[in-house]
Structure 1
Amino acid sequence: MFAPLFRWLESRIDVFAPFDERETPPRGVWPFMWHHIKGVKGWMAAIMITGLGFSGIEAAMYLMVGWFVDLLATQSPETIFRDHGWLLAGAAFLLVVVRPLIYFANHAIVDQVVVPQITNQIRWRNHVYTLGHALGYFQNDFAGRLSARVIQAGQSIRGATIEVIDDLWYALVFASVAIGFFGRTSLWLALPVVVWLGAYVALLIYFVPRAKKRSEANSLGRSTTTGRIVDSYTNILTVKLFARADAERSAVRDSLTRWNASFLNQSRLITGVSVILQTMNSLLVVATAWLALLLWSQGEMTPGAVAAAIGLVLRLVQMSSWLIHLVRGIFENIGSVQESMETIAKPHDLPDAPDAVPLAIGKGAISFENIRFNYGKGGGLFDGLDLAIKPGERVGLVGPSGAGKSTLVNLLLRLYPLEGGRILIDGQDIAHVTQDSLRAQIGMVTQDNSLLHRSIGDNIAYGRIGASDAEIATAARQAEAHDFILGLGDQDGREGFDSRVGERGVKLSGGQRQRIAIARVLLKDAPILILDEATSALDSEVEAAIQQQLAALMQGKTVIAIAHRLSTIAALDRLIVLDRGRIVDSGSHGELIARGGLYARLWARQSGGFLAAADPEKLAV
């Protein structure tokens, strides 16, 4: 019966509604929270209004009890329905019809409209914004901690908001009704409640800042421990290869010890405050009951008013413990929001330019003009480097480790911002094209080919949206991967292209991962191709077979290849020799050998020359 209504309510907020993905969330807890909930402020107002109605009726129920007791004391059974029937019926209607309807409206808005949708909308928007950060942002933090803060931001912002405008509002209205009733009956009767409220506020003033500080420490301990555990699991192969399980256990134990200490510190505060509060509550009940009895004995209060007064005080006492934990919960959520904000609300280091347009590839010419870059450090890895690559030219980058080969292609992919100069593709400055369109036109195979924890087919299809099963299989055959894929299976019974590869592809060998990555790039078929040690993990037989496919793939494309094994790139059109961020030589393989420079020395070492020059006695040792 209620299903259509629930479906309508649940569709009021679109979790994935479009938003400005480039807008940096504001700093400051309350601005950060408002940034995420301002789109549902109308629903928040509805929660507050329905909460006001329900809390008003709840408080009125105690006054009605007093009225009802006095009615029984002053009326006879024969006249009570005749003289007060309509009032009794109105009270029954208020309790039986109006109260449930307002309760339903309040909880339907909270539980069906706001809580699930706004929680996941906040998570979605923070995730999308976080994806827009540059590569260095992710390299400087734990993946587990980043994901935890994106997830916790949704529930913390929603929790703090709902608790303030619904639960805290409810308590405030109830307390106001109680004080108004006591004050109208007798100022002396209101005095214990006023004193109690003053003491309660003083207790909150003492408690809240300390609870906030300790909650932040507890939240930091949680996220740090989570990050440490996830880091261990993510790098489990390294942990086992180096027999470092004891070290990892020790690191997590230290983190848990600090987290536990912060948790106990928080618990001590809560226990102490709770004992003080319960003492205050007992004094309030005794003082109110004694004053009510005194006023009744003097004829200033009816039995019904006494019953209502004691009922209101008992309800206040009951709410006080709940309220102090509510306030603690609010500030715990605020502490989590602050922690998430400090991680998430950072400007993108590498945003698209305001005038960015999609890259239009023509022939595929690439030009590095006076580029300067050194990862933001002093000095310069590249300090005025110039390099022009013709359309369709196949270029190899050669040089010792640290020469800047991989950095150069990372700058072409705009994974890091240039510190000077510019990079052009077909005359278009890549700083003024959208990053997605730039990377869509470049296919790259790296030496560290991490795969997504999805099916083999999904990983290959990552190269082209909407690729058919036949196209995926063809790419796998070209990468010499089809046969081994058909023999794969996972723990859930999926086989072949449907089998899962494990986190980062850990269930596959290095060579298998590299062939999947090559299949992905073959399927992408982008006009610019980058190969960074693309066949380093393959055996010679498989490499020879794939080299034929790569040679066919290179036709008509601009190619940049990096390889320490020089034989794999010796046949390219031109080799660029880099050393410490400078181009020290260029030419074909034969030209570079004939000149006898750095390339010739590297070639001689790989051809066995360094063995001949070595001390035979040292080699024997």
Structure 2
Amino acid sequence: MVWLRRPVITAPPPPAVPPASLFGFCYYFLAEHRTIFLWLFLCGLGVACADALVAVFIGKMVGFVGQADRWAAWHERWPVLLILLLVIGLVRPFVIWIDLRLRNAFLIPGVTSRMRWISYWRVTRQSWSFFQGDSPGRLAHWVMQTPGALREVAEATIRAVWYLSMYGLMSMVLLGSADWRLTLPVLAWFAGFALLLRAFVPRLRSRADENAERYSRLMAELVDAYGNILTVKLFGVAATVDGPVRKALLAHDDAQARHMEIVTGFMTRLTLLNTMLLLGTAAIGAFLWLHQAISAEAVAMALPLVWQVANTGGWVAWEVAGIYQNLGEIRQGMSVIAAPNDRTDDDAAPSLEAKRGRVAFDRISFGYANRPPVFQNFSLDIAPGEKLGIVGRSGAGKSTLVALLLRLVDIQSGTIRIDGQDIQTVSAESLRARIGVVTQDVSLFHRSIRDNLLCGKPDASDAELLDALDRAQASAFVAAIKDEDGHGGLDAIVGERGGKLSGGQRQRLMLVRALIKDVPIVILDEATSALDSEAEQAIGAELDTLLADKTVISIAHRLSALVRMDRILVIDEGRVIEQGTHSGLLSQNGLYARLWRQQTAMSHDDVTLSPIN
């Protein structure tokens, strides 16, 4: 349709945040598609009017064939019959085709995908803490399900509720033109239908909300089970996931059964109401015909009209039940898609300009909710190009310090600066773009090796990737790997979270990804924990060269990964209790020396390693 274009699915979303109210949330997603919905309303009006004229045509035909003088009746009535035939035979199919085309080519694929993109975009840009408090399976479910439910509500409202309203209005006009008393059963039916909706809709809404919530919990349990399949296999299905999945499935089944029980009661009462409509119209029509108040033609028109109203009412009832079920899903999805974002980053903030890599923590304070503070008035200065190691007991604050630098969480007071720029005043995206990170928790996408490495530098060539693999001593295993589809090397698929690779292979790819990013600051958070000692030593020596001109912050429990650092901090309870070179800290015979002796089982006098120059 040249007069209507499909939405640009992946265009930037509207700048405003989705409102927390149900109406506002729906309007936020549907407003940019108002042209499509306007045409659907017009098509619904056209189809309702054309369908009502079918009953008029039946009545006219009954009146025509009942005439004694057939040819006289033909010459009198053929223009009206021809017009009705053209409307029913040509106009009605054309309008229905336009309606189907709008739904199947624009609304279902285009509008739904557009709303899913906006939902994905909004949820993905939530704060780090948002994702720590919810299940990935539940989030993914609502990102996919909510837009579909929203589209179905809008579509059903136009397809069913609007159609019934327009068809009912047209029927009232046609019946009233024959005799006003024929409209009484239809008026009574609409009143009864409204009372049924009033009585059952609140209960349908409550049951639909419960059903949607139980379904999302079931999906979350299934995704949790498959996402932790190794644990399931190691400890047994019955011991790990059968119980929670069984409980969630039975809870959903119970909620669904109670929901359908309400639907059954509603539909039964509506069936009785429809029967009364047809019988009442037939009785009034027969009475009026017997008293010569109306013609047989009017009765023949009235019965199909009210029968279509009754049939449409049943259809609308199903649609209304579906609308309220979908509204329940929308309300559940709103808690995810329209959740307040506590990310303080301003999208309009300037980008970080960092070339030297100087990092300064100036009297920062931070604490997690309902816990003692992790840092209070903590200060630390890291010189450009310095190699800083951080060590300490679990819970000492090492990973929190890195999270604060990356703005995964924000400090509560103080300042963190990179090359003199306050990181709170620059965009978080630009901040993280200037910092390379290799974590202990290896994060690889279920994609090819090439795609995973390009996360570090999207425009990198294959030559750059292969060079980085060589430097990280990862070329051999990458060249040898093949997936089940026959793809090898950079094209091989690594599996969910890199599950087709060993722990050491995954961590080497993480190193490669950080290397090709080529940024002034690199964070190594247990970066070699999955490697054996020989590989760690080889890669450690290679890293000395690769990271020679970069500021490095290395966190490690295995102290052998830190012996080449320019400076090592020992952190305990958010404070620096020791600092110095490896050899200097050993000579202090403090916590670092005790940890070293526990790990190496040798005297510090036997270790002679020099720091990086």
- Comparing 25-34 with 84-93, greater Cα deviation is found at 84-93
Distance in 2 of aligned mates of 1:347 and 1:403:
30
**Of residues 592, 597, 606 in structure 2, which corresponds to 1:604?**
597
**Of residues 14, 23, 38 in structure 1, which corresponds to 2:8?**
14
Partner SS for 1:402: coil
- Residue of structure 1 equivalent to 2:221: 228
- Residue of structure 1 equivalent to 2:277: 284
Partner SS for 2:577: strand
Over residues 305-337 of structure 1, what are the superposed CA-to-partner deviations in whole Å (9 max), with x where a residue is unaligned? Answer: 111111111111211211110101111111111
Partner SS for 1:500: coil
Distance in 1 of aligned mates of 2:477 and 2:361:
41
Matched, 1:255 2:248: yes
**Of residues 522, 533, 543 in structure 1, which corresponds to 2:515?**
522
Q: Which amino acid aligns with 2:70?
A: P
Distance in 1 of aligned mates of 2:541 and 2:533:
13
- Residue of structure 2 equivalent to 1:167: 160
Partner SS for 1:577: strand
Q: CA deviation at 1:354?
A: 5.9
- Comparing 153-162 with 343-352, greater Cα deviation is found at 343-352
Q: Which amino acid aligns with 2:270?
A: L
Partner SS for 1:535: coil
Q: Is the 8 A contact 1:355 1:432 kept in 2?
A: no
- Residue of structure 2 equivalent to 1:99: 92
Q: Which amino acid aligns with 1:49?
A: L
Distance in 2 of aligned mates of 1:58 and 1:553:
76
Over residues 27-71 of structure 1, what are the superposed CA-to-partner deviations in whole Å (9 max), with x where a residue is unaligned? Answer: 011110100011111221121112112211111221232123223
Q: Which amino acid aligns with 2:456?
A: G
Over residues 511-541 of structure 1, what are the superposed CA-to-partner deviations in whole Å (9 max), with x where a residue is unaligned? Answer: 1111111111111121101111111111122
Consecutive unaligned residues in structure 1, runs of 5 or more: 611-621
Aligned length: 603
Q: Which amino acid aligns with 1:19?
A: P
Over residues 442-496 of structure 1, what are the superposed CA-to-partner deviations in whole Å (9 max), with x where a residue is unaligned? Answer: 1111111121000112112221112111221221222222111222222222222
Q: Which amino acid aligns with 2:387?
A: R
Aligned ranges 1:326-365 → 2 under 5 Å: 326-353=319-346, 356-365=349-358
Distance in 2 of aligned mates of 1:591 and 1:316:
91
- Comparing 236-245 with 260-269, greater Cα deviation is found at 236-245
Distance in 2 of aligned mates of 1:558 and 1:566:
19
Distance in 2 of aligned mates of 1:193 and 1:355:
59
- Comparing 63-72 with 410-419, greater Cα deviation is found at 63-72
- Residue of structure 1 equivalent to 2:609: none
Aligned ranges 1:443-522 → 2 under 5 Å: 443-522=436-515
- Residue of structure 1 equivalent to 2:608: none
Distance in 2 of aligned mates of 1:209 and 1:489:
57
Distance in 1 of aligned mates of 2:358 and 2:492:
40
Distance in 2 of aligned mates of 1:450 and 1:44:
42
Q: Which amino acid aligns with 1:499?
A: A
Distance in 1 of aligned mates of 2:146 and 2:333:
6
Aligned ranges 1:2-81 → 2 under 5 Å: 5=1, 8=2, 11-20=5-14, 23-74=16-67, 76-81=69-74
Q: CA deviation at 1:9?
A: 6.8
Q: Is the 8 A contact 1:381 1:580 kept in 2?
A: yes
- Comparing 235-244 with 513-522, greater Cα deviation is found at 235-244
Distance in 2 of aligned mates of 1:58 and 1:20:
39
Distance in 1 of aligned mates of 2:104 and 2:236:
49
Distance in 1 of aligned mates of 2:18 and 2:395:
37
Partner SS for 2:436: strand
Partner SS for 2:364: strand
Distance in 2 of aligned mates of 1:297 and 1:38:
54
The root-mean-square deviation of aligned C-alpha atoms, in Å, is: 1.8
Matched, 1:555 2:551: no
- Comparing 312-321 with 334-343, greater Cα deviation is found at 312-321
Q: CA deviation at 1:150?
A: 0.4
- Comparing 105-114 with 37-46, greater Cα deviation is found at 105-114
Q: CA deviation at 1:10?
A: 7.5
Q: Which amino acid aligns with 1:288?
A: T
- C-alpha spacing 1:75/1:519, structure 2 compared with 1 (3 Å): farther
Q: CA deviation at 1:347?
A: 2.2
- Residue of structure 1 equivalent to 2:527: 534
- Residue of structure 1 equivalent to 2:268: 275
Consecutive unaligned residues in structure 2, runs of 5 or more: 604-613
Q: Is the 8 A contact 1:525 1:553 kept in 2?
A: no
- Comparing 183-192 with 36-45, greater Cα deviation is found at 183-192
Q: Which amino acid aligns with 1:43?
A: I
Percent of aligned positions that are identical: 37
Q: CA deviation at 1:81?
A: 4.0
Q: Is the 8 A contact 1:221 1:255 kept in 2?
A: yes
Partner SS for 1:208: helix
Partner SS for 2:165: helix
**Of residues 101, 106, 109 in structure 1, which corresponds to 2:102?**
109
- Residue of structure 2 equivalent to 1:325: 318
Q: CA deviation at 1:547?
A: 1.2
Aligned ranges 1:567-606 → 2 under 5 Å: 567-606=560-599
- Residue of structure 1 equivalent to 2:607: none
Aligned ranges 1:356-395 → 2 under 5 Å: 356-395=349-388
Q: Which amino acid aligns with 2:10?
A: F
Q: CA deviation at 1:76?
A: 2.8
Distance in 2 of aligned mates of 1:87 and 1:189:
23
Over residues 218-273 of structure 1, what are the superposed CA-to-partner deviations in whole Å (9 max), with x where a residue is unaligned? Answer: 11111100100100110111222233544311110111000000111011112222
Q: Is the 8 A contact 1:189 1:288 kept in 2?
A: yes
Q: Is the 8 A contact 1:457 1:498 kept in 2?
A: yes
- Residue of structure 2 equivalent to 1:616: none
Distance in 1 of aligned mates of 2:598 and 2:337:
49
Distance in 1 of aligned mates of 2:547 and 2:71:
103
Partner SS for 2:66: helix
Q: CA deviation at 1:198?
A: 1.4
